[in-house]
Structure 1
Amino acid sequence: MAIALRQPKEIEKLRAANKIVGGALELLRQNTKVGASLKELDAMAEDYILSHGARPSFKGLYGFPNSVCCSLNQVIIHGIPSEYKLQEGDIIGYDIGVELDGWFGDAAITVPVGTVSARDEELIACAKDTLYEAIAAIKVGMRFKELSEILENSIRLRGFVPLYSFCGHGIGRKPHEEPEIPNYLEGKDAKSGPKIKNGMVFCIEPMICQKDSKPLILENKWDVVSADGLRGSHYEHTVAIVNGKAEILSIA
């Protein structure tokens, strides 16, 4: 299946959807406080999305029951919001998808609750810094496998490892499109596979484990943790390739 090349007007549609994602994430960041429940935060983001004329695209997607993936502490991605109330020293990942006028947006952040350990600060910084380093490195003509190699090297240089079996992805008229973008190089040849071109729009999302890249899915069929049982982190932006470089769409 071919990777879509979007026209400027289509990229503006995607920017509008992603701006709502960015606003919802910023709202959650500001309200990440001791005592806030995950369900309250989920409802807050859903209200924000609806008030902007959009739809929370994760709700019902593949059967997911809520609007926001709330991934607490050891949960790296796909956490289901619960009645749990945030406590000092927790870390919480938020992943939000939005559909506006048939176009999709998607982004994620991991946020500390109050004061967290130095290790947790490093864990969160790994996901965030890796994301921005990768975005800055993108050029037209490079291959997606080269991007995956950059992501993996950035994660490992910080003393962490990428989560296996889950990946970034294209986005547009559907929440998940071609290509798949792992946070690690599959195979040995980074100079193979499709090239990045102007007009492509995709999500980059480093998912960070501490020691073991193997994922485990918990009993609720959604929460993904590392086999090492340690805390993880996750950051994501939707980017469009415009004039040879990656432009972040998912900011408020």
Structure 2
Amino acid sequence: MTHESPTLHPAPEQAARGARLLAEVFQQLRSQLVIGNTGTGVEQWCVEYIRQHRGSPSLRGYNGFPARICVNRNEVAAHGVPDGVPFSPGDIVTVDIVIEYMGWKIDSAWSYGIPPVPGEQQRLINSAWQASLLPLIARMRPDPGRHAAELLQHLLSESGMRACDGLAGHAIGRELHMPPRIPYDPRICSIPSGSPQQPFVFCWEPVLTPGSSSLVQQPDGSFITADGSPTAQFEHMFRCDSRQGIRLLNLQPAQIYAQRDAVLRARPPW
């Protein structure tokens, strides 16, 4: 078996600044996730906001992707292409954005419910938010990747959700997807620890669904759940080093809860 070496990066503060810019985009974007707006409308708003703040959308052309952001609606779990179909009440819309900022790739995703949001959809969204924060609970453990993956399995068992198959976290830096891959299986999930001078920077992004975890690729390259069940996802950027453990880059501590019980009860801050 070939083991990939950790990807270490020298300028985490630049990455953190870009990550906080995307967090600001997602918080402001809540006003655009309304009945009648469309994926293409959301794409245009995001691109204008990002460019006004010195970022550059960088998804178009990546592995042939045709749009500047991903917009995944309901059963679309990944790589959704924005379209002109109006949002409807109860839709779950996940916006996944990659930008380049000061030479760094920045990658995040947030899910939103189009109001009014039924209870089951809100429970899915809440569970996805909680799943996205689990590395914070494992932040100082000797094997934080395994511990975070074990916590994810516990959350899935308690909530009745499933993590979509074949998707994983990843290192990120000058390129978008860098080794090592970070799967959500406790048997193989590993988060390398860098040094305070060269922390390991990574994305954690499980996609949750209440139905089948199997995905089917569509002709446009998107992936949908095999049984048409809705999905929700939040993707965050973290840094890990041997002194401070795992830290969240895109949100300030006041915006999230780092204690175990609070994380497992948390709701998205929009």
The verdict on a shared fold, with TM-score over 0.5 as the criterion, is yes
Once residues 249 and 164 of structure 2 are traced to their aligned partners in structure 1, the CA distance between those partners, rounded to angstroms, is: 24
After superposition, where does 1:22-41 map in structure 2 within 5 Å?
A: 22-41=23-42
Q: Please, what is the CA RMSD of the aligned residues?
A: 2.0
Letter in 2 for 1:238: M
Q: CA deviation at 1:201?
A: 0.8
SS at match of 2:133: helix
Q: CA deviation at 1:96?
A: 0.8
Letter in 2 for 1:200: F
Q: Note the alpha carbon deviations across 1:110-144, whole angstroms, 9 max, x for none.
A: 10111111110111111101112332222263153
Q: 2:123 maps to what in 1?
A: 122
Once residues 59 and 113 of structure 1 are traced to their aligned partners in structure 2, the CA distance between those partners, rounded to angstroms, is: 26
Letter in 2 for 1:81: P
Once residues 78 and 183 of structure 1 are traced to their aligned partners in structure 2, the CA distance between those partners, rounded to angstroms, is: 19
Give the counterpart of 1:6 among 9, 32, 36.
9
Q: CA deviation at 1:67?
A: 1.8
SS at match of 1:241: strand
2:135 counterpart of 1:160: no
The range that moved more, 104-113 or 209-218, is 209-218
2:112 counterpart of 1:111: yes
Once residues 135 and 34 of structure 2 are traced to their aligned partners in structure 1, the CA distance between those partners, rounded to angstroms, is: 30
Letter in 1 for 2:7: A
Q: 1:150 maps to what in 2?
A: 151
SS at match of 1:230: coil
Q: Is the 8 A contact 1:20 1:98 kept in 2?
A: no
Q: Is the 8 A contact 2:138 2:144 kept in 1?
A: no
Once residues 54 and 22 of structure 1 are traced to their aligned partners in structure 2, the CA distance between those partners, rounded to angstroms, is: 13
After superposition, where does 1:54-69 map in structure 2 within 5 Å?
A: 54-69=55-70
Q: Note the alpha carbon deviations across 1:156-212, whole angstroms, 9 max, x for none.
A: 321111111111111111111122122333xxx45x866434411100012112232
Q: Is the 8 A contact 1:208 1:234 kept in 2?
A: yes
Q: CA deviation at 1:76?
A: 1.8
Q: CA deviation at 1:12?
A: 0.6
The 1:155/1:196 distance shift into structure 2, 3 A limit, reads farther
Q: CA deviation at 1:152?
A: 2.8
Q: 1:196 maps to what in 2?
A: 193
Q: Is the 8 A contact 1:127 1:208 kept in 2?
A: yes
Identity of aligned residues (%): 24
Letter in 2 for 1:214: S
Q: 2:266 maps to what in 1?
A: none
Q: 1:206 maps to what in 2?
A: 206
* 5+ long unaligned stretches in structure 1: none
2:135 counterpart of 1:138: no
Q: 1:226 maps to what in 2?
A: 225
Q: Is the 8 A contact 1:141 1:196 kept in 2?
A: no
The 1:200/1:96 distance shift into structure 2, 3 A limit, reads same
Q: Is the 8 A contact 1:94 1:109 kept in 2?
A: yes
Letter in 1 for 2:202: F
Once residues 197 and 150 of structure 1 are traced to their aligned partners in structure 2, the CA distance between those partners, rounded to angstroms, is: 23
Letter in 2 for 1:221: G
SS at match of 2:96: strand
Count of matched residue pairs: 245
The 1:159/1:134 distance shift into structure 2, 3 A limit, reads farther
Once residues 203 and 75 of structure 1 are traced to their aligned partners in structure 2, the CA distance between those partners, rounded to angstroms, is: 20
TM-score by length of 1: 0.89
SS at match of 1:201: strand
Q: 1:240 maps to what in 2?
A: 239
Once residues 164 and 193 of structure 2 are traced to their aligned partners in structure 1, the CA distance between those partners, rounded to angstroms, is: 23
